[in-house]
Structure 1
Amino acid sequence: MLIALYAVFALAATARAVVQIAVQFDEAPLAYALSLFSGLVYIAATVGLVTHRPWSRPLAWGACAIELVGVITIGIASIVDPQAFPHDTVWSRFGSGYGYIPLLLPVLGLLWLRYSRPGAEHGRSDDRSPA
């Protein structure tokens, strides 16, 4: 479910931003550039979560962390200075236009990465010394 949500947001945010940049970039350049950036972050998170390469987990960790910082930063900025965001981004007002899923998604992604790491199953830590 988590990966499906990331894939949907990757496709939707990127496609929407590309169209907005191509058609009406001059109306809200900051918002549309941030929308494209968020789409690229969602793509990176999706790839990191889906693939099983040595670089996959670090990519997913980085993308989810950037996403969380982005949604909090843009969320605050869009409330404090709404004139800077005449058109919404995915992360405006903490993703309110998307049911706050953009705020919840990186938290879930980071939690999944933490609890799905090697050695995390059944509460086992990486420390294998006897108690």
Structure 2
Amino acid sequence: MRETAARATSSGPGRVLIAVYAIFALSATARATVQIATKFTEAPLAYLLSALAGVVYIVATIGLAGHGPGYRRLAWAAVGFELVGVLVVGTLTVLDTADFPDDTVWSVFGRGYGFVPLVLPIVGLAWLHWTRAPR
């Protein structure tokens, strides 16, 4: 019996998902770069977490846009890490505002970005599940 391959994550609606990830990769990385370069001492944890988010978005974009099982595993790891990150950072910023004098991309579950950072990994994981190889 021949095993059927997974659908490409970069086809159909996946293109929109990749575009949103690319926009977030660019915006989070640019924001963190400016913050780290100009006012790092004001909120180092927040700015480093924004930089981490930018890197995660870059890796997720590459994983979702790539073809093959290695890229799919990369996408699963990056998007899964992103979901954990937004939940942990979101919770911490709600419970302990003193450690976060400035917002990160994931602060209060992405409130500053219209909660897209909270919804995006859920959609990303759903898309990866939807396009998986049939069993």
d(CA) in 2 for partners of 1:17 and 1:81? 21
Secondary structure at the aligned position of 1:55 is classed as helix
Asked if residue 101 in structure 1 is aligned to residue 116 in structure 2, the reply is yes
Residue correspondences, number: 120
Flag the structure with more relative contact order, 1 or 2, with Cα contacts below 8 A and sequence separation at least 6. Answer: 2
Query: Which sections of structure 1, spanning at least 5 residues, go unmatched?
Result: 120-125, 127-131
In structure 2, the residue matched to 1:88 is 103
Q: Residues 30-66 of structure 1, C-alpha deviation per residue, up to 9 Å, x if partnerless?
A: 0000000000000000000001133100110000110
Distance in 1 (alpha carbons) for counterparts of 2:76 and 2:124: 8
C-alpha deviation, 1:18, in angstroms: 0.8
Structure 2: give runs of 5+ residues left out of the alignment. 1-15
Instruction: Report whether the alignment pairs 1:27 with 2:42.
Output: yes
- 1:1-131 aligned at under 5 Å gives the runs 1-119=16-134, 126=135
TM-score, length of structure 2 as denominator length: 0.87
Displacement over 3 Å in runs of 4+: none
Rounded to whole Å, the distance in 1 between the matches of 2:126 and 2:68 is 20
Counterparts of 1:32 and 1:47 in 2: how far apart (Å)?
A: 23
Deviation (angstroms), 1:98: 0.4
- For the pair shown, the structure with the greater C-alpha radius of gyration is 1
How far apart are 1:118 and its partner, in Å?
1.9
